[in-house]
Structure 1
């Protein structure tokens, strides 16, 4: 992942929380605090963890693949359009080519749009949004990921905030027009090399003197670079078909190719390189701004004056599947821990020597202490004892998920009711449904043999 992609995902998470409310971020905040660093670093670590959990990281990869396909399609269209310009300007060679009409066809639209882009960049700061929107739309269509719809708005806001969208868009627009003009130039040379074209000029309003002056003006730059141009006498006799000799024909052809190269290809190349340089320079200077809306309230959670655990945000629509972040090589030993048991229940049960007892987690301090310990010394097997007479509230389920992520393998032990008391079937069903969403195995008997040996 590049730094731009990391900032992009961070901005996506910020916008998502701004519009839909805070996410379930208890573990993300803890991991960000443990990793250390300044506030922007912690905000980014938190956002990347949430993006990975919620599938935004995968959606970004799909979107980038779609963006490449969209760009490839636009490149193909640019090449085809350039070839079409050349065919439109010269025809099939059966009729003489009006040299100035051909020049207008080859350069007119390109020059108008190039001047329009430059004026928009200077006076408005934005231009060429149509091509950019087309690329974003095609990228989203090719991505085929519903979660990828959240990414383009975040990218646009990130670039606009640092005034990089004009250079990113400028690289795209001028790059595509450069391809169009290169395709036009290549096809122009190929057609002139394989067909014989006669060139004429025709006008009802203007005479030979006007076209001689126009030709000299357009040939000023090519002539300074050593490019030949038709002389005045050649321009005057162009209409005389008996005098349209090979020298005149070649002279017009060279002049037309030079005009396309000098006034079509080179300006687009210069503008594209300028935009690419500004884009790379600005991208290298991208930094996360912790003063943005949505980041201020994270300061106390990520860099608190006093550490505290708890649940303060709204419940999500569904629980997230728990996947262990610890491999078997990183973990060792077995551990039993209980969550909020009544004092009347005898605890702990008799444990094998190889199984450690982590006690009962009944306070924020005890939870925080155990999570810190597990982050440094993850167990290979972890059994979590819960009292199913209590409702499976969000705080307990979030804690179970955090504990499970810090062990190589986890099982939940749903304790039996004390003698003379029955479990509520509906409440027990809620526990089963919640643990199935978390994808954690559970049982109503003590998993002592599994804790000791690793199998049943």
Structure 2
């Protein structure tokens, strides 16, 4: 799910799109934040916190989050108690069949763990949102017809549809299994303390030698961490036993039972839980700063306003003219797609390697690995909608540092604005002119960023 700050920021966006009346004026707060130092995401978090001056939005989100966590804790306790009671009932007799009890403990659990592993490998990248929403529905956790409650419910429902939630579901499932196995472990330890058991085994098809081998295989892993394993003599003496057995043999079987539950039940399930927890954190949902709502706010913060009385004309920084090499070139788009698949042909020609869109960390790493092993010049296409913020400029610096024949940039204008300028430049609406002004502002910002880094700009 989103972090708490991201959730509050998204909730403000949701409510502001519905003309909700906040406890503080969003426009005034946005104006004040213009002069404060910080990254765009930090300032968006500050903005949301100040708009929620009375804490009502954060309170509603916290209420839903607390109830979700409460349900998970209650279900875990119920599963733990059910595991304890189930095993308590199973071990009522003083003489118990060891392998029958072991199959009851770990048989179904092992099958389910293997099934989860197979489904995880087969359904990579796929998500079944209905699984989690069938257990936890935000609309059932909090009732209310007001705008804040309804928007909060929609926000949580969107988060439950995120692809990373498959790991949340997995973590939740493993947590319930761990609770069940822990309840069984408590029951075994309690019963072994207060009662004396005789462990036996019986089989129509398997001989003593076969059961000795099977017991040694089963006890190999528990023995590595200090649990006792019955030897050949103890296995042979335990066949079809109906009377109390020597205490030392009973303790060996009891130790193997506890060790098997730990090493073949709890430890693998805990490892699966840890994997799901790590993958969920790694694939966590984040704010989409490419949304027009956030773009407009960030544009406002980055726009330089100069008082006419104090104006001193300064020469605007201009990126150096790009020198395109004659050798092989690699072309790529940074973050945004572009309508023209052949955008690079005018400047790069035909001796190129098209790398597609470079956006996430995996794309960047794949590009850097390629550049480390190939002597090429990089032509990077950047849509003028892209913000030259710290994250984007950090990607640009990494690419420039690995490009052996240098890096050049081509700025790509918006298709709709290009068409308007060609068809009817004199009949633009105020909104269209504002879009043109924003594009020109973004172009100047990129000019400044490229000039500071001495990265050449391709003129088209």
Matches of 1:63 and 1:6, distance apart in 2: 15
Matches of 2:117 and 2:171, distance apart in 1: 13
Q: In the alignment, which residue of structure 2 is the partner of 1:27?
A: 25
Matches of 1:201 and 1:186, distance apart in 2: 24
Query: Which blocks of at least 5 consecutive residues in structure 1 are unaligned?
Result: 308-456
Matches of 1:262 and 1:30, distance apart in 2: 60
Q: In the alignment, which residue of structure 2 is the partner of 1:80?
A: 81
Matches of 1:267 and 1:276, distance apart in 2: 14
Matches of 2:248 and 2:97, distance apart in 1: 17
TM value normalised by structure 1: 0.54
Asked whether 1:172 is paired with 2:184, we answer no
Q: In the alignment, which residue of structure 2 is the partner of 1:236?
A: 236
Match of 1:154, SS state, is helix
Match of 2:3, SS state, is helix
Asked whether 1:111 is paired with 2:110, we answer yes
Matches of 2:260 and 2:204, distance apart in 1: 24
**C-alpha contact (below 8 Å) 2:33/2:47 kept by paired residues:** no
Match of 2:93, SS state, is coil
Q: In the alignment, which residue of structure 2 is the partner of 1:252?
A: 253
Deviation at 1:170, TM superposition (A): 3.8
CA deviations over 1:80-116 (Å, ceiling 9, x no partner): 12202322432x125x322112111111232223223
Deviation at 1:305, TM superposition (A): 7.5
Matches of 1:29 and 1:207, distance apart in 2: 83
Matches of 1:305 and 1:268, distance apart in 2: 56
Aligned counterparts, 1:292-307, within 5 A: 292=291, 294-296=293-295, 298=297
CA deviations over 1:32-74 (Å, ceiling 9, x no partner): 2321255444544555556668943221121123123213312
Note the aligned Cα RMSD (angstroms): 3.9
Q: In the alignment, which residue of structure 1 is the partner of 2:434?
A: none
Cα distance, 1:254–1:87 mapped onto 2, change above 3 Å: same
Matches of 1:167 and 1:52, distance apart in 2: 34
Q: In the alignment, which residue of structure 2 is the partner of 1:347?
A: none
Deviation at 1:219, TM superposition (A): 0.9
Matches of 1:114 and 1:240, distance apart in 2: 33
**C-alpha contact (below 8 Å) 1:66/1:141 kept by paired residues:** no
Aligned counterparts, 1:419-434, within 5 A: none
**C-alpha contact (below 8 Å) 2:127/2:165 kept by paired residues:** no
Aligned counterparts, 1:176-325, within 5 A: 176-237=176-237, 238-241=239-242, 244-279=245-280, 288-292=287-291, 294-296=293-295, 298=297
Pick the structure with greater CA Rg: 1
Query: Which blocks of at least 5 consecutive residues in structure 2 are unaligned?
Result: 307-460
Larger deviation: 266-275 or 140-149?
A: 140-149
CA deviations over 1:403-452 (Å, ceiling 9, x no partner): xxxxxxxxxxxxxxxxxxxxxxxxxxxxxxxxxxxxxxxxxxxxxxxxxx
**C-alpha contact (below 8 Å) 1:83/1:184 kept by paired residues:** yes
Cα distance, 1:242–1:197 mapped onto 2, change above 3 Å: closer
Matches of 1:280 and 1:34, distance apart in 2: 34
How many residue pairs align between the two structures? 298
Q: In the alignment, which residue of structure 2 is the partner of 1:406?
A: none
